[in-house]
Amino acid sequence: MDLQVGINISPLQIENSDFVNRIRQKIHDEDIKPEWIDIEITEGVAMSSQVSMEEIFSGLANIGISISIDDFGTGYSSLSYIKRFDIDRLKIAKELIDNIAEDKNTLLIVKAIIMMARGMGLKTIAEGVEEPNQLEILKVLECDEIQGYIFGRPVPPEIFELEHIDKTTLSSK
């Protein structure tokens, strides 16, 4: 299993003109592999930021960090706007996943997001999956990755480390 840590970035962090350089320096200082990091930026921040998101996304991609648009489907993004960004994933918002089994229109929206992302060469991640029927629908729709309490609740770092990290090879179990 490949391990990647998603880091949610706030609007204040994005607005910092030295954001990409600070990330680059931190990776160097801590001897972290860039491919271990996925920067998550919410759809709203990506669409409304005062700084050039294209430059930021390009800078992060050049370092080797993957980029996800978080909570996709809850904001006001234009799909033509998304295609301008150098991103890797769309994280489908929990609000859509919550109703996927009960509401045909929501199911169609999620299906369209997955198909569109695939056509653009992006991976999809469904957030907030809690029920077996949601999981089964997402498998049928061929969503690339699935997150949620259906797989387990959050645990303290030391418990996660004991259960999932093999320190001898620094890989996930």
Tell me what the mean pLDDT of segment 120-129 comes to. 95
Q: Looking at per-residue confidence, does 170 or 118 come out higher?
A: 118
Mean pLDDT value across the chain: 87
> What pLDDT is recorded for position 80?
65
The pTM is what? 0.78
Which runs of consecutive H residues, i.e. helices, occur in the chain? 11-15, 19-30, 43-48, 53-63, 79-82, 94-98, 104-119, 132-140, 157-164
pLDDT band at 160 (very low <50, low <70, confident <90, very high): confident
Q: Which residues, 6 or more positions from 137, have their beta carbon under 8 angstroms from its beta carbon? A: 100, 101, 107
144 φ, ψ to 5°? -70, -40
Higher pLDDT, 113 or 42: 113
- What was the pLDDT predicted at 113? 93
Cα Dmax for the chain? 49
The domain limits of the chain are 1-72, 88-173
% of residues, the chain, pLDDT over 70: 88
Residue 1: is its pLDDT beyond 60? no
- pLDDT category at 79 given cuts 50, 70, 90 is low
Name which residue leads in pLDDT, 34 or 172.
34
Q: What is the pLDDT of residues 2-45, one digit of tens each?
A: 678 889 998 888 887 789 999 999 999 999 999 999 999 887 77
